Structure 1
Amino acid sequence: MIQMLSVAFVAGLFFESSQPECLTQFPLSKPECWTDWFDRDDPSGTGDWETLSDLRKEYPGKICSKPVGVETRTLSGLTVAAAGDVIYVSDTTTGFVCRNQDQPRNKMCNDYRVRFSCPPCFCKVCWTKWYNRDAPSGTGDWENLINLRTENPGQICDHPLSIEAVTTDTLTPAISTGQTFISNPTDGFVCRNTDQKSGACRDYKVRFGCPCN
């Protein structure tokens, strides 16, 4: 998973520029946002071809000029690893291609959808408030989206574009702490004590970047 974190901005800030040059305003951060999911092809022919060139023709203006990440899932929600297909290519230059000819035992590819991560200046983003539902006194710090939604009904959008995580004491961005964690806007933030050299996670809080209404 891509760690999608940025320096702390004032809650409610959003980015309107669609120019890649706006990244120069944030030299110490790794800001990203996600596009919509795209599914332009199915594997009934030679395979599932979700290439950037074709997607840009069918969805003009919906994908930034230089994506920094790609995520692929089957239409039923499985990751590529869980689906078990042999993938021909999956990157930010070509897009995603699963060829039927590469699959064992004459199996066809699954039907996939893709999305791309872009600089936040490509998306219009509004930030939620900060959430801190867990402390690392147990197995770790679990600020996962499913539990946050249960505990804060109606407060987090259906499809967050980005996520930010900082420590609760010094507001240090998680990416600057040297700790190991998983962070993405689809699942939320998880830091496990067993993954840390010190044996314990720091206490984190998170917020999500949502489409502005």
Structure 2
Amino acid sequence: MKLLSVAVVVALIIGSAAQENKRPAPPGLPCHHAKYQCWTEWFDSDNPRNGDREILRRLRRRYRGKICPRPIDIEARTLSGLTPEQAGDVIAKSDTKTGFICRKRDQPDRECEDYKVRFSCPPPYCADPVCWTQWYDRDNPSGTGDWETLSALRRRYGDEICKEPLYIEAVTTDELTPAANTRQNFHIYNPTTGFVCRNKDQKVGNCMDYKVRFGCPCNH
């Protein structure tokens, strides 16, 4: 497997295996202070022989009526379930206007994984709503790095965060750049542990200052 690196999509929202495996939803989060959001099914229209291109306009033609006119977000996974940063691929494009592009020439080994994508849309394009917490910024990178761990955030914010988050998002505190687009390396980035950026893992400089939020099942 390629080295863990982050030059990738956005928004990495992790933990969808819980939905894909159709296990019972964990304890949820009231939606009174959360953003209502849900996801389409996964789409896979290309193979990585010449790179992997999951272009939105092509997906719309192939999967008519299944993608909303203005998606809110996009997520990409390999067919085996890895995020692009876990797979170590350098992603050329991942947005809600173009779609997802992995080019072979951008990869150290000249190979892209085979990816599938899905989009965040309002109902009725998807069935599983996600309620997002507020943004949390507990630490700054002046020491060993930026440590926004779930355990530490729970100690500070109590039951604002559900017991079993399904997703996590991280952005910089200054320009709100998705962590996946900063090209920094992350020690931990998952919804069950939280987010850790260590200064010693960066090729140049120190970690940026990040804030995180968690995606939880909704309680209405």
* Equivalent of residue 71 in structure 1, options 57, 60, 75: 75
Show CA shifts across 1:111-152 (max 9, x none).
0000000013443x4xxxxxxxxxxxxxxxxxxxxxxxxxxx
State the distance in 1 between where 2:63 and 2:43 align.
9
The corresponding residue for 1:162 is 129
1:32–1:164 Cα change, 3 Å: closer
Q: Which runs of 5+ in 1 are unaligned?
A: 9-27, 126-160, 166-173, 182-190
State the distance in 1 between where 2:161 and 2:90 align.
37
The corresponding residue for 2:62 is 58
What is the identity, as a one-letter code, of the residue corresponding to 1:192? L
The corresponding residue for 1:35 is 40
What is the identity, as a one-letter code, of the residue corresponding to 1:162? P
* Equivalent of residue 150 in structure 2, options 184, 187, 192: 192
Q: If the length of structure 1 is used for normalisation, what is the TM-score?
A: 0.52
SS in 1 for 2:67: coil
SS in 1 for 2:101: strand
1:29–1:192 Cα change, 3 Å: closer
State the distance in 2 between where 1:117 and 1:6 align.
20
1:116 aligns with 2:83: no
What is the identity, as a one-letter code, of the residue corresponding to 2:92? Y
State the distance in 2 between where 1:80 and 1:33 align.
21
What is the identity, as a one-letter code, of the residue corresponding to 2:70? K
State the distance in 2 between where 1:73 and 1:37 align.
9
Higher relative contact order (CA 8 A, sep 6+): 2
Deviation at 1:64, TM superposition (A): 0.3
Which structure would you say has the larger Rg?
1
Deviation at 1:203, TM superposition (A): 5.5
State the distance in 2 between where 1:71 and 1:65 align.
17
* Equivalent of residue 84 in structure 2, options 80, 83, 93: 80
Deviation at 1:32, TM superposition (A): 1.4
1:208–1:195 Cα change, 3 Å: closer
State the distance in 1 between where 2:125 and 2:30 align.
15
SS in 2 for 1:43: coil
State the distance in 1 between where 2:157 and 2:74 align.
31
CA contact 2:54–2:117 (8 Å) conserved in 1:
yes
Q: Which runs of 5+ in 2 are unaligned?
A: 1-11, 15-28, 139-148, 163-215
Question: Percent identity of the aligned residues?
Answer: 44
How large is the RMSD of aligned CA atoms in angstroms? Answer: 3.2
